[in-house]
């Protein structure tokens, strides 16, 4: 059984969650640990400040399959889950599922995404992506601080894995980005207040 290093992921600034391993039927990644980052920060790249794991290798995967990552502990902040492939292009992003009051926030409404509370998260690989080796980046952007008096802004939790995609197609990825550089401290989507909205405003 091959080992695969998860190259980087971000633990919460206050002992929150990491993406600690890739879920793959024939690969044992071991667990890795690192810290989350706010903007601007060069450590938003993969493999910056991570430690642990079972060594670096590449996982063979088939285009179109669904791959998972295990967060430890479960994701405990509100915000979207995204996935990128390098050269960096985004191919997956969650949408808000509802705006509601919760046990933790009984007197206000709060936007919720599917990944909140997730024990594992799964994203499908594009079936049309060309075959070859990539870095697969899973990323959760926590927006719970937005609109709060202390105003710390979004936190980024991420992990990257080496994958070799087999049986791919001929699609041409568009809208390439760089890390750092994909996000700005001024991005409205990162500074949006998730509290006291209705779905019509999301």
- Tell me the per-residue pLDDT of 85-117, one tens digit each, with 9 for 90 and over: 998 999 999 988 878 777 766 767 778 899 988
- Tell me the per-residue pLDDT of 17-61, one tens digit each, with 9 for 90 and over: 888 888 877 776 767 665 566 666 667 877 555 555 555 678 899
- Tell me the per-residue pLDDT of 139-191, one tens digit each, with 9 for 90 and over: 999 888 776 655 577 888 888 888 999 999 999 888 899 988 898 888 888 88
Q: CA 97 to CA 118: how far, in whole Å?
A: 14
Q: CA 147 to CA 29: how far, in whole Å?
A: 37
What CATH code is carried by the domain that includes residue 175? Answer: 2.70.50.70
Any residues with CB less than 8 A from the CB of 104 and at least 6 apart, and which?
Answer: none
> What is the span of the domain harbouring residue 31?
2-201
Looking at the 3D structure of the chain, how many domains does it have? Answer: 1
Of 177, 185, 179, nearest to 154 by C-alpha is: 185
* Gap between the terminal Cα atoms of the chain: 45
Q: CA 20 to CA 160: how far, in whole Å?
A: 10
Q: Is the pTM of this model over 0.85?
A: no
Please tell me the number of Cα atoms within 13 Å of 134 on its side-chain side. 24
């Amino acid at each position: 059984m091959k080992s695969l290093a998860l190259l980087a992921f971000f633990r919460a600034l206050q002992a929150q969650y990491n993406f600690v391993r890739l879920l793959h039927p024939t690969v044992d990644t071991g667990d890795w640990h690192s810290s989350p980052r706010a903007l601007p920060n060069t450590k938003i790249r993969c493999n910056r400040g991570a430690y642990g794991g079972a060594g670096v290798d590449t996982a063979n995967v088939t285009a179109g399959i669904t791959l998972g990552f295990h967060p430890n502990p479960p994701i405990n902040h509100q915000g979207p889950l995204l996935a990128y492939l390098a050269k960096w292009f985004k191919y997956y992003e969650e949408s808000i599922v509802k705006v509601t009051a919760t046990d933790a926030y009984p007197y206000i409404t709060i936007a919720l995404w599917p990944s909140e509370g997730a024990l594992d998260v799964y994203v499908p690989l594009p079936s049309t992506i060309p075959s070859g080796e990539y870095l697969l980046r899973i990323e959760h952007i926590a927006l719970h601080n937005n609109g709060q008096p202390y105003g710390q802004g979004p936190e980024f939790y991420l992990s990257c894995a080496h994958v070799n995609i087999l049986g791919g197609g001929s699609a041409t990825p568009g809208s390439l980005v760089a890390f750092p550089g994909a996000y700005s401290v001024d991005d409205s989507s990162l500074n949006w207040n998730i509290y006291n909205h209705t779905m019509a405003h999301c």
